[in-house]
Amino acid sequence: MKTVAEIEKSLITKFRPTIWTKFAKAVTEYKLINEGDKIAVCISGGKDSFLMAKCFQELVKHGKQNFTCEYLVMDPGYNPLNRKAVEDNAKILGVPIRIFESNVFDVAASQTESPCYLCARMRRGFLYAKAQELGCNKIALGHHFDDVAETILMGILYNGQIQTMMPRLNSKNFEGMQLIRPMYRVEEEAVKQWRNFNELSFIQCACRFTETCSVCGGEGGDSKRFEIKALIKNLCQNNPQAAQNIFNSVYNVNLEAIIGYRKGGERKYFWEDGF
């Protein structure tokens, strides 16, 4: 098993171009951290959030900004095996986690429609509330490049709209709180390579629907997001730039070639601009 020092060294040497540089670029490009911030680094127990925690630890040690972090784990109702896996990984990685409990899984599992949507919303609400209680002004989530590309394509194919997962958001329900996504430019394949190189094993979703295979290296699932993930993977076999182009599309919106759009909740059309 690798030591904490070896894992940290791999992050800024072997994985510097694929992880560390892209993490730092997102922090700078999207202005995710300010002087005096206290950030709740939210760890779900998976590979993405634990890697994000390690990146934050490096940034605290070597970065230019003066800020602090709380490494926050919400137990939404993990079974004992998953709870232990999260605690063990925190020790292996040298991440000083703070754990609190909630009943998210119980509530979500009782719903017959959109339990995953409800689970995600409830998780975020509990995290905001606990972070605010601890004096934090931001929560950091571990969504990565692939999550962003998948969200864009899901919006087009299933909702008929063009939108993306934003790197920075002000909370509507928790005054003064902000959500940031510093893993925004880090590709999932790089995260997997970091995990495998360091001989690590993390839990997956671990909800009532998937917990039977949660402590594993598998990436399976049957949700719409996994359908989109498979679709993008197939597209990249013919065009390696497909995922990057999907990501870039929300940077390059040509308003002169858009039929309609929404701004401030109001729908507008191209002919209203005197076209």
pTM of the model: 0.90
State what percent of residues in the chain have pLDDT above 70.
88
Q: Domain 4-273 has what CATH class?
A: alpha beta
Contact 31, 25 (CB under 8 A): no
Look at 43-47, 112-116, 197-201, 237-241 and tell me which has the smallest mean pLDDT: 112-116
Residue 187, pLDDT above cutoff 50: yes
Residue-level pLDDT at 215: 43
Note the pLDDT tens digit of each residue in 60-106: 998 777 899 999 999 888 888 999 999 999 999 999 999 998 877 76
What number is the average pLDDT over the span 130-158? 97
Give the Cα separation of 34 and 67 in Å (integer).
Answer: 7
Sheet (strand 168-170) strand order:
97-101, 68-75, 38-42, 138-140, 178-180, 168-170
Going from N- to C-terminal start, the domains of the chain cover 4-273
Helix (H) / strand (E) element for 73: namely strand 68-75
